[in-house]
A and B are shown apart, each in its own frame.
Chain A
């Protein structure tokens, strides 16, 4: 491969000027003539109830109100706001058992904030005032906040389709005995010399994206429905809305708006069905629907919390012989994403170490908590919190160094990744571990902190992770991309996958410019409306660069091929002996010989036959490259995180001093953006392990749906961060790139937990590890030197 001029540079972010100057237009900024304002009336007083009586009349008579719509005024069809069901084959869909169980307006409230009815008014204020006049009588139902409660005999059934409120378990026959893995786990465990086991709790964490959900929807005179939305998956939302409202897809148009952060919360739909139902009730008028932060909080899905039990067996020499695990997650009131996380949490577990026997069971139970769905990492942080702590407990028992043990037993090239039969094509985890250990001073600090005195104790910990680049082969991995060359040899690229703020469109532009041999600024990349852009499943599963980038590269290669072919005719040199740099096509062996790309693109568009001679002026036709691309692999990235913490043994407070994230990224298309992803991931990973959880009261009402009481790490809480980009090109990804969008969040979770273990000799099984839990642990168990643990003595 020739040296790259644009890939690998810190090209400026394409969205930065608009966002920094306030010119970016989010859905909430949209103003259209004749616009009306929608308000969804929600049930705030109950998390589980039946609607006994709903009286819309007083609200309908309220000043400024145009329409009030309830359950009987909208389609009785139900939907599934997630899109997983669209990304699997029909047979797989039947096996997984995904269901459509969400009504637009409900008569059975299944979580606090469930939608009751909608108000359409001439102003937001009028809609608010009318909302207060809606009369609803509820019959309260028992509230189930855990799997134990909702599966108990006699519990109210959330849906007749899922008996026992078991929304999902790994299905036969793909997972014999409802388990992922293989081998005789129980037999191997009996033969183990050392067994570590515990029951953990993983928290309900919120994405906390900056932009609260907002929509505009409109039905035009031809009956065409347009929805402005910041969904991460505009094309799949188009299909979902078409299906829900019985419209052909050409009568549903999605206009993707600037996304103010996603992290999974926009994976699929949130309130698009309600916004569109309102628009359908007032044809000709755009309806804007905005959510409050506290409202967004309860209606959009969070990370899956739940109980996670695990048991690992080792031989005395450290050989792992068996891993047995069960993740019982607490869904919200509806099905969405019930299958996804229950599977992936086990998939990442299976992808990490060479366990000769493995049994993972994943189950999702309905509860009356808020909805659960996609959040950056998608099951992986949960597994990391559990697996990596138990590995370190095992290492402590064995007297093994946690870095050395991991280097010896992690999976690598040729091993099965998270999906059996799809092997790792690349793995630079050893380098991550070595470079990360050196950066944090692992050897010295492990020794130094193993014996300490005083009230303030320090510790260092490590954790590793594997993730994915797209979800092939479990899910559809399809991206269409068109590149067209303008007559002045600039390029326009149409690509439906959104940029959620992670810098993906910048990196994709770099890939396009590099492939075409055009300057960065002569390439335009547009998401485009559903009218214009080809198919793409959307931004999820850390796929945008790995899959989308490969599609952009292929489309650009096709355009480049045509360009070189035409140049070959002019220069009389075979196309494979030509190259393009800075829009100039030249002979590789004789760079002085060449032709400007513009001469070819212009002649293709402004094509004339010489009226004097009858000779055509070059090859006619605008050059366009097009690809409908299916990813052949998922080249998982690996990562190693190292944390140094300080534990105050009198208050239980944990301060993270340093966090090193060494990441096997294949190739950094835009190193600054990659570092940004890793740093942002650390912030959310630290929240998972130390500070973030959505709390409910006994009635299922959320207690902290605001930034006042839900505490993320802020700038002053963040540790010193070192990111190490380990670039060992993947043989499949575009320019060797693997994903980085989600994975930076994952291993900081385990690393911090393990650093606490190293500091005070106690492991904590419930995340987040708050000072209250740490102090309780210290008072119950006592601080002990890491060196005093059995294997280390």
Chain B
């Protein structure tokens, strides 16, 4: 059960990144960091057990300079900790160079949530269903943390530890996401299945392919809702690399998916169904990335 009233906590309102980092260094694990609040507020209203409650909520509301989405052809895309999902949608660079992320952002939650929820928040929530998380995983990149000791960058491949757990240390502030610039011949796509349009995914998949002529020279495939964290399908990727993406290759890749995933029954679907359609969704996403409807 939720509550109409929030539990008691102290609200911390740092005015700068150093101040935020200082607070984290002091209180560490007793702090819940809040940017958009779309996950934090829900969690607070539903977690009435004292053990689950934070002593402090640190809002980034007054920390300046974190709401950017910046693209540089040489360095790639930088997404600040306070950039919202809606900010991604307003960036023509994201639409042009990171199409899978843009597509994920477009169906992410609802309009109201997109206006408030942050991209980094979606990564830090460490839910296996995050749509932006799935797209970003397939693109690859790094998340930058700021601590007292300085800046630390973690590859997205090492970012999710387990359900709800990331590589962020309690005294670190996640400050930005950096996505590499797409190499020539890069194509990406994102698809998902939901119960109704405005919903969390029951299954989502993102692919990023680098093509040289007809041949796929590099592939990253990420799938959500099929494991405790977003999952990279490396065996499936291996089925694609070095090959022309013929119907037969796609079928083999699709068939490989079921062996890599470990879905469960939950409120949104069943393990059986997820196994049944995961390959189909992958095949369709690859075709979409290649521009074949």
Contact = CB atoms under 8 A, between A and B. Distances in A.
Contacts of B2: 292, 294
Interface in A373-405: none
Contacts of A708: 200
A132 B277 CA distance: 44
A275 to B, nearest CB: 16
A703 interface: yes
Contacts of A42: 1
B277 A128 contact: no
Interface in A284-314: 290, 292, 294-295
Interface in A762-782: 770-772, 775-776, 779
A132 B267 contact: no
Nearest to B199: A711
Interface of B is mostly: loop
A785 interface: no
Contacts of A704: 267
A716 B107 CA distance: 11
Contacts of B15: none
Contacts of A770: 195
A770 B197 CA distance: 14
Contact of A650 (B196, B197, B277): B277
B5 A128 contact: yes
Contacts of A779: 276
B193 A653 contact: yes
B196 A711 contact: yes
B277 A651 contact: yes
A773 to B, nearest CB: 9
Interface residues of B, number: 23
B209 interface: no
Contacts of B1: 42, 44, 292, 294-295
Contacts of B272: 772, 776
Interface in B174-210: 193, 195-200
Nearest to B194: A711
A44 B270 CA distance: 26
B48 interface: yes
Contacts of A712: 196
B5 A124 contact: yes
Most buried by B among A651, A712, A714: A651
Contacts of B5: 124-125, 128
Contacts of A124: 4-5
Interface string B267-278: 111101100110
Interface in A742-775: 770-772, 775
Contact of B280 (A292, A294, A650, A714): A650
Given A128-B3, A292-B2, A713 B277 contact: no
Given A132-B48, A775-B276, A695 B267 contact: yes
A717 interface: yes
Interface string A647-663: 00011110000000000
Interface string B8-45: 00000000000000000000000000000000000000
Interface string A429-440: 000000000000
Interface string B43-58: 0000010000000000
Given A691-B195, A695-B267, A775-B277, 20 more contacts: A125-B5, A128-B3, A128-B4, A128-B5, A290-B4, A294-B1, A295-B1, A651-B193, A651-B277, A651-B281, A652-B277, A704-B267, A708-B200, A709-B267, A709-B268, A714-B198, A771-B273, A772-B273, A776-B272, A776-B273
- The 10 A-B residue pairs whose C-beta atoms are closest, nearest first, are A716-B197, A711-B195, A711-B196, A772-B273, A650-B280, A125-B5, A709-B267, A714-B198, A651-B277, A717-B196
